[in-house]
């Protein structure tokens, strides 16, 4: 199997796309969100949140920053950009932070900050980590990229660290988006700039195009057709006129389109207007309820399939999952089959930072191969969810039979 194999576009949306129900529903939320945190600012991506948080903490070239061995490169690039040294700590089999390992790493040399990820929306032991950081003089950065919603010990997730970041495009049908909450920065905050007309246009149009691609908002599609055609023409000429420096700002700012690099030009840019408006307009209660019920359905349907098991077999009350992570015993046999069938799979940590291997954390290396995340977002309809479940089941059972 070649690594570069091209797969078809997923049959069902990997990320949320705009729909009529998204625009018009009203439900009681019941679980807190990142929006309730203090000193909140809106950026173009989660990684820009990490970059800004590290900068505000005063992390400098040569400083050691503790980061999880199970990560995506977007989490590490801001550390490297500052010239700081990422020091990878272990995670446990339940994806929890291994504080004993962190303590061991601190004996080898002090560190200035610690980044902690709430994988797939399931919170870490925030209380213990906050105390640990305080005892060791570490600035605590909560990575809520997977946890826009959720509560820990009666408080919104993200309220335990000095800083917290989120990646709202993973939860809302928006093109760009990052948030940073700055409990630890005094009053100043960030002075953000307009992100440029090209992102403003692109984010508005992209939200629509993503919906049309998956047969949502069909009436709007007919009305907008000539406008979208014009956009393609205008876009081409803007790009040609802008020159290479401006073009850096027209590339994807986050992981949504596989954007993987850290482009510091985005650091002080504000989230696009379309994304901010949508984030504020959309109904949190619906997002929370549907993500939870889709997750529970996936749990019930996948619990008894041989050859795999859910990473989080229980959905606690105040958790709103980002995705449904399933641990697959023989991932190589399954991955390509599912992708060819059009099932969207995200493999968090598929590519680990150079040098992170089993000697650093065997569990992370295993997870990076074996944990497949299937979408459980609010915009999957029942037919799409059931199609995905049936495809996962039949693929797994078929592989078992051949085994
Ligand atoms: C996606 C992600 C990020 C980075 O977010 P972007 O918005 O893509 O920059 C950071 N941390 C985790 C855990 C992520 O999954």
pLDDT tens by residue, 148-188 = 999 999 999 999 999 999 999 999 999 999 999 998 766 57
Percent of the chain at pLDDT exceeding 90 = 80
Rounded to two decimals, what is the model's pTM? 0.93
- The three-state secondary structure class of 269 is strand
For residue 1, the model assigns a pLDDT of 41
Nearby residues of 237 by Cβ (< 8 Å), 6 or more positions away = none
List the beta strands (DSSP E) in 90-218: 113-117, 139-144, 151-152, 155-156, 163-166, 178-182
Residue with tokens 């073009």: 247
- Compute the distance between CA of residue 334 and CA of residue 342 in angstroms, rounded to an integer: 13
Q: Beta-carbon neighbour count of residue 268 at 10 Å? A: 16
| Nearest partner of 322 among 285, 398, 374, judged by Cα | 374
Candidates 167, 176, 364: which one to mutate for ligand 1, based on the most atoms within 8 Å of Cβ?
167
What is the distance, to the nearest Å, from the Cα of residue 318 to the centroid of all Cα atoms in its chain? 19
Inter-residue contact 181 to 204 (CB < 8 Å) = no
Parallel/antiparallel/unpaired status of strands 139-144 and 113-117: parallel
Closest CA to 213 of 29, 305, 342: 342
In this structure, how many other beta carbons lie within 10 angstroms of the beta carbon of residue 22?
A: 23
Pocket residue to mutate for ligand 1, from 76, 253, 254, 261, most atoms within 8 A of Cβ: 254
Is residue 278 a contact partner of residue 210, using CB atoms and an 8 Å limit?
no
pLDDT > 70: percent of the chain: 93
Distance 158 CA to ligand 1 centre (A): 15
Instruction: Ligand 1 pocket test: pick from 51, 255, 272, 350 the residue with the most ligand atoms within 8 Å of its Cβ.
Output: 255
- Model confidence at 350: pLDDT above 50: yes
Residue 124 structure tokens: 């870490």
**Which of 159, 152, 155, 154 has its CA nearest to residue 182?**
159
Q: How confident is the model at residue 231 (pLDDT cuts 50, 70, 90)?
A: confident
Please give the Cα distance from 180 to 38 (Å, whole number): 10
How high is the pLDDT of residue 27?
83
**Pocket around ligand 1 at a 6 A CB cut-off:** 45-47, 72, 74-75, 117, 143, 145-146, 167, 178, 254-255
The answer to whether 362 and 302 are in contact (CB under 8 A) is no
In degrees, to the nearest 5, what angle opens at C-alpha 397 toward C-alphas 393 and 399? 120
């Amino acid at each position: 199997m070649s690594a570069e194999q091209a797969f078809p576009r997923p049959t069902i949306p990997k990320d949320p796309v705009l729909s009529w129900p998204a625009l018009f529903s009203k439900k009681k939320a019941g679980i807190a969100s990142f929006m309730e945190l203090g000193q909140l600012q809106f950026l173009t991506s989660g990684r820009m949140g990490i970059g800004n948080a590290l900068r505000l903490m005063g992390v400098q070239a040569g400083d050691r920053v503790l980061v999880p061995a199970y990560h995506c490169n977007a989490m590490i690039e801001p550390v490297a950009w500052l010239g700081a040294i990422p020091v990878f700590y272990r995670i446990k089999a339940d994806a929890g932070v291994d504080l004993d390992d962190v303590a061991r790493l601190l004996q080898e040399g002090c560190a200035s900050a610690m980044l902690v990820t709430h994988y797939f929306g399931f919170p870490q032991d925030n209380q213990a980590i906050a105390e640990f950081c305080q005892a060791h003089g570490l600035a605590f950065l909560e990575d809520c990229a997977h946890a826009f919603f959720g509560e820990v010990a009666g408080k919104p997730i993200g309220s335990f660290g000095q800083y917290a970041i989120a990646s709202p495009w993973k939860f809302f049908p928006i093109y760009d988006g990052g948030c940073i909450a700055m409990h630890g920065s005094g009053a100043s905050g960030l002075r953000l700039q307009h992100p440029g007309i090209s992102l403003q246009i692109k984010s508005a149009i992209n939200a629509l195009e993503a919906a049309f691609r998956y047969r949502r908002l069909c009436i709007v599609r007919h009305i907008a057709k000539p406008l979208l055609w014009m956009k393609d023409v205008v876009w081409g000429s803007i790009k040609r006129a802008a020159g290479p420096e401006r073009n850096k700002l027209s590339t994807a700012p986050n992981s949504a389109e596989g954007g993987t690099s850290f482009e510091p030009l985005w650091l002080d840019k504000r989230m696009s207007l379309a994304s901010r408006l949508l984030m504020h307009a959309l109904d949190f209660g619906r997002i929370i309820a549907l993500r939870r019920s889709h997750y529970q359905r996936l749990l019930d349907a996948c619990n008894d399939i041989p050859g795999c098991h859910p990473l989080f077999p229980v959905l606690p009350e105040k958790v709103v999952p980002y995705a449904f992570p399933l641990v697959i015993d023989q991932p190589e046999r399954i991955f390509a089959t599912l992708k060819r069938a059009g099932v969207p799979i995200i493999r968090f940590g598929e590519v680990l930072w150079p040098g992170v291997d089993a000697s650093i954390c065997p569990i992370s290396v295993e997870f990076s191969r074996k944990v497949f995340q299937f979408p459980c977002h609010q915009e999957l309809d029942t037919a799409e969810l059931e199609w995905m479940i049936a495809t996962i089941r039949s693929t797994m059972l078929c592989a078992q039979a051949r085994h």
